[in-house]
Amino acid sequence: MNEQVFPLDQVFPSGMAIDGAHLDPPRKLVYAWAPTMAPPVPSPTFLPPTRKVTSYMITGQDAKKASVQYIIDGKQSMTVFKDVRTLAKDAVAAAITYLQGGTPVATATYNNGQIDVPSKPSAVVTVDKNNVRTALIDSGYYQLTDFEWPIMSSVIPSSGGVLTSTFDSTTYLFPAGAFANPVVISHTMTSSATSSTGLAGIGHSFAIAAVYSETGQAAQPTKPYTVTVQYTDEQKGAVKESTLALYYRDGKQWVKEPTSTVDVDSNQVVATPDHFSAWTVMGEIRKVYLPVVRR
C-alpha cells in the first residue's frame, strides 16, 4: 500500500475527507496515509471539498521506520505491524514441507469464492504510541537507537506533582516540599545498560534531571521521590525476575539503589531515591549448568 503524508498545517486534498456522520458523536474525519508506495484507495463516500474538515487521523501500514518515527513524534496515530520474521519462518516451513511431499500446517481457512483454502495467518499488531516500544523495540524488530525519542518534561511546583513517560512506562511522583520553587523535570530514554558483574538490563534505561523554572540552574530534590518502572514478561527475558532492581550511575559503575523493590505480580520496579542520576533496571542473569558426563 502506497502511503502519503500531508503536513498537518496544510489543507488536505479533496477526496481525503470521509463522512463521519455515522459516528457517535457525528464528526467529519480525514484519513491520511503515511510514508509510501502507491496512491491510497479512495473512500466510497466523500465530503464536498467546500466542507470544512474538523478532525483527522493519520494512519499507516507495515511499521516502516519513517512511520514509527511519526508515531513517536505524535504526527501519526498508528501503523499495522506484520512481523516479517514470522512470515518468513512460516513461508520457509511450508515450502520445505511441500518439497518433502507433506502438507503444511494450517490453523485456519480462507474462502476464495470457490473453496476453503487452508491457511496459517500470522499475528497482525496495531501499533500506536502506547505500545510502540513493546511491539517493535522489546521484540527485537528494531533497536532503540533507530529512532529519536522525545524528552518528556513537566513543571513540578513546590506542592509536588507527577511526570509520566508513556514510551518506557516510567512514572515519577514528587511529594510536596521536594523543591522549594517550581522546577522543570526532564526524563530522557537512553540505551540499555549491561553491567560486567553478572547483571543484565531489560530495556529500561533513562536519565532524569531538573532545573529551576526561574533561574535555569540545576536542581536536586530535598526529599525522596518515588519512581515506578513497569516492565513486561518479554522484557525480563533470561533475567531472574526476583533480582530486578533500579541502579544508578556512579562514575564508571552501576550501583544498586538501596530503596529499590520489585513486585513480580504487577511487574513493577519501585524505588524512592533522594537524588537524580542516570538509571537502569537490571537483574541477575539466569545461569544454566550442564551436567558433566564421564566415560
Domain boundaries in the chain? 84-122, 149-284
pLDDT (0 to 100) of residue 18: 41
Q: Is the pLDDT of residue 19 over 80?
A: no
Provide CB contacts within 8 A for 73, sequence distance 6+.
150
Q: Which amino acid is at 177?
A: G
Q: Which is more confidently placed, 251 or 23?
A: 251
For residue 291, the model assigns a pLDDT of 67
d(C-alpha 156, C-alpha 54), whole Å: 34
Mean pLDDT of 204-212: 95
Q: Is the pLDDT of residue 13 over 50?
A: no
pLDDT given at position 133:
86
CATH number of the domain located at residue range(s) 149-284 in this protein: 2.60.220.30
Give the C-alpha separation, 18 to 117, whole Å. Answer: 34
Rounded distance, CA 57 to CA 12, Å?
12
74-85 average pLDDT score: 91
Burial classification of residue 181, based on how many CB atoms lie within 10 Å of its CB (0-12 exposed, 13-18 middle, 19 or more buried): exposed
**5 compared with 188, residue with greater pLDDT:** 188
